[in-house]
Amino acid sequence: MDALYAKSMGGNAPIENLEFGDRPAPEPGAAEVRVRMQAATLNHHDLWTLKGVVGYPITLPRILGCDGVGIVDAYGSERPPESPDPRSEVILYPLRFCGHCAGCQGGDPMLCRRFQMLSDGTSEGSFAQYVVLPAVHVIPKPPELSAAEAAALCVTFLTAYRMLFVKARLQPGQSVLVNAAAGGVGSAAVAMGAAAGLRVFASSRSQAKLEFARSLGASDVVLAGRDAVKAVLRATGGEGVDAVIETVGEATWGTSLRAVRQGGTIVVAGATSGPNPPADLPRIFWRQLTISGSTMGSLPEFRDMLRFVVTRRIMPVIDSTFALRDGRRAFERLAADEHMGKITLTV
């Protein structure tokens, strides 16, 4: 089958580690399903894998990709009850869990000690004609969305949903600052936050990206940099926002700490600009701030997110579309950090 895979990792030109070619088609195990892929979207996780920044040992070559939509091709011998019918369109839940550790048994599988994204560990990803995953991890695709639009939800919208509504517990009328508001998680947070009745402050280094965030529903836009905090405080009467969505790290951490209100929450799900900013512990404890880590979301949260997107009529934005064989061009666009919305691969 055709596939886009990492033949190696690391080096000075990580995208050159990417190869398009023939790979063995997978066979579903007893409790698994094979999906014939239609569309998939890129995440920074895929780029980090090419760079060699991985949380688990990975055998090479490795098919990349965590997001995706496709058609049920075949089940293993233990098809779960109420699973989607063969030849029906499904959206992929992008995570795997061990099911046995204290985290899994404690009710929140996101605390699994060995949780992995779809292409981590020994699993092959979704950038191929076929992918195999646990049969309970495919969900009927909402008919209101195209294959590309539904694929765009898997990682970024799930991550943003958990950050906004599970970790920060934001309610209509409250306020949130979204850093990197035109990126994958950021744009999802802006769109869902606005749809939920939040006052959304969108921050970016680019004026064009701020206008993009405004088109998604941001009520206030803030140019990232030294004056960002002043702008947020001025707009909130000196109080600050109720919560901050933080995925950037070192470049925006100082802004996040100073723009959030006393007793507010900063939810962290990434550190693309660097992982070790000055903590400023006195500000955290004197102002009684909550710093909450967040990673993707559980399967029930995935289902909740899909319902939320459909009922609120949120349409994920597709930045650009590439054929699977043109995957290097898609990764070059991701690495350039000029995209607004999701970068899609058609299979």
DSSP state of 85: P
Structure tokens belonging to residue 84: 């989607």
In the block, residue with structure tokens 């795997």: 96
**Do residues 166 and 301 make contact, with C-beta atoms less than 8 angstroms apart?**
yes
Strand partners, 244: 177, 266
Question: 158-180 pLDDT, tens per residue?
Answer: 999 999 999 999 999 999 999 99
Structure tokens belonging to residue 184: 């994958």
**Do residues 159 and 268 make contact, with C-beta atoms less than 8 angstroms apart?**
no
Question: What pLDDT shows up at residue 99?
Answer: 87
CB-count exposure of residue 223 (10 Å: 0-12, 13-18, 19+): middle
DSSP state of 135: G
Question: What pLDDT shows up at residue 338?
Answer: 87
**Of the candidates 95, 17, 94, 96, which has an alpha carbon nearest to the alpha carbon of residue 60?**
17
Structure tokens belonging to residue 282: 């006195």
In the block, residue with structure tokens 């470049």: 251
Q: Is CATH 3.90.180.10 correct for 2-152+316-346?
A: yes
**Of the candidates 101, 15, 90, 2, which has an alpha carbon nearest to the alpha carbon of residue 336?**
15
Handedness of CA 162, 166, 168, 170 (dihedral sign): positive
**Do residues 4 and 327 make contact, with C-beta atoms less than 8 angstroms apart?**
yes
Q: pLDDT digit of tens for each residue in the chain (347 aa)?
A: 999 999 999 999 999 999 999 999 999 999 999 999 999 999 999 999 999 988 778 899 999 999 999 999 999 999 999 899 999 999 999 999 998 999 999 888 999 998 899 999 889 999 999 999 999 999 999 999 999 999 999 999 999 999 999 999 999 999 999 999 998 999 999 999 999 999 999 999 999 999 999 999 999 999 999 899 999 999 999 999 999 999 999 999 999 999 999 999 999 999 989 999 999 999 999 999 999 999 999 999 999 999 999 999 999 999 999 999 999 999 999 999 889 999 999 99
Question: 192-248 pLDDT, tens per residue?
Answer: 999 999 999 999 999 999 999 999 999 999 999 989 999 999 999 999 999 999 999
Strand blocks (E) in 168-254: 175-178, 199-204, 220-223, 241-246
- Tell me, rounded to whole angstroms, the distance of Cα 177 from its chain centroid: 18
CA dist., res. 24 & res. 330, Å (int): 23
DSSP state of 326: G
CA dist., res. 210 & res. 252, Å (int): 16
CATH topology (fold) of 157-293: Rossmann fold (3.40.50)
Task: Show Cβ contacts of residue 226 under 8 Å, excluding neighbours closer than 6 positions.
Answer: none
- Tell me, rounded to whole angstroms, the distance of Cα 214 from its chain centroid: 20
Which H helix or E strand runs over 71? strand 69-75
CA dist., res. 149 & res. 322, Å (int): 14
pTM over 0.85: yes
Quickly count: other Cβ atoms within 10 Å of residue 272's Cβ.
Answer: 17
Query: What end-to-end distance do the CA atoms of the chain give, in Å?
Result: 11
Dihedral over alpha carbons 122, 335, 8, 18 (to 10 degrees): 90
**Do residues 56 and 117 make contact, with C-beta atoms less than 8 angstroms apart?**
no
In the chain, domain spans:
2-152+316-346, 157-293
